[in-house]
Amino acid sequence: MRLATGVSGRRVAEILERARTAERLGYESVWANSITSERDSFVLLTAVAAATERVGLGTYVAPIYSRHPTAMVQAAAALDEISGGRFRLGIGVSHQVVVEQMWGLSLERPVEAMREYFTIVRAGLDEGSVDFEGRRFTARWGYQHPRPERRLPVGMSALGPRMRELAGEVADGVALWMCSPRYIAETVMPHVGAGRGRAGKSLDGFEVVAGVDVSLTTNVEAAREVARPRFKFYSNLPFYRRAVAGAGFKDELDRGEISDSLVDELAGIGDEKAIRDSIRRYRDAGCTLPLVGAFAGHEGAAGFEATLAAAAS
């Protein structure tokens, strides 16, 4: 069954080796995140493209306010050309603390901004030219170099209900994280389905990428302690907090707690069966492409390669 993984590391050489490991283990794709304090995901994936042969590549996810949509088309088309047609694009609005406090921009009416941005990106990739004027994004522009020979998939990070419906309506997929299987089944999929229905489309071919932190380990409690601060940090961001609270954990978030049950709901920790069971729960909820994030950093952890192998077994 199809699996993806995220690639990160302290050194680029380590990232490239992890990408080659994922390719050797049969992973469908490797994805680079776009955290503002880390390496540029397009530059990094260009190096990954050169270091691999078959594995797909994706951004998880590129924030729209850091690149004009025409620049996003340039980056996506160039990376797809360099990789021999292996790239797919994931975009998102990011978070208020990033857009407004770090960049000094406005996150006002994000769904409207995303619709305009997506319209420009889709036209640029499909037609090679754009003539569009919006309230937030405008483009009168053309791309003069080779464009993707197929329809390059463009997915959308969508944690709010209106954004999920927009993703269903116009995008090729949705990118999720901190969304439990229960939340995906009960909240995400109905909104996505409503958007697909509004556009006269079924869910066939629509990609639901969901991040799942996993660790093959003999020390479950130590692994939880590694995962807990990460989940606590991101649950303080409003979009993620809404997803976690919506999965039934509002009371403990209000108390500032990240319980074992919350960690176990979001992550797959333990032996091979525990990891496979976690991934299965995500698939059963509607996730078409689980994106496993292997982590270690504690006594008893088997490490990146062993964890990826366990997930793929």
Pairing label, strands 207-216, 289-294: parallel
Task: Give the number of other Cβ atoms within 10 Å of residue 228's Cβ.
Answer: 17
Side-chain half-sphere of 278: how many Cα atoms within 13 Å? 32
Helix axes 41-51, 69-82, angle to 10 degrees: 10
Cβ atoms of 146 and 81 within 8 Å: the answer is yes
* Residue 103: pLDDT over 80: no
Mean pLDDT comparison of 85-99, 163-177, 225-239, highest-scoring range: 163-177
Q: Is 174 helix (H, G, I), strand (E, B) or coil?
A: strand
- How is domain 1-157 classified at the CATH fold level? TIM Barrel (3.20.20)
The CA radius of gyration of the chain, in Å to the nearest whole number, is 19
* Residue 182: pLDDT over 90: yes
Taking Cα atoms as reference points, which of 132, 150, 130 lies closest to residue 142?
Answer: 130
Provide the 8-state DSSP code for 125.
H
Degrees, nearest 5: CA angle 308-309-313: 120
* Residue 238: pLDDT over 90: no
Task: Give the number of other Cβ atoms within 10 Å of residue 105's Cβ.
Answer: 13
pTM listed for this prediction: 0.94
* Per-residue pLDDT tens digits for 249-259: 999 999 999 99
Q: What are the angstrom distances between the C-alpha of 36 and each of 93, 147, 197, 266?
A: 13, 28, 35, 24
Quickly state the pLDDT bin for 101 (edges 50, 70, 90).
confident
Compute the mean pLDDT over every residue in the chain, rounded to the nearest whole number.
95
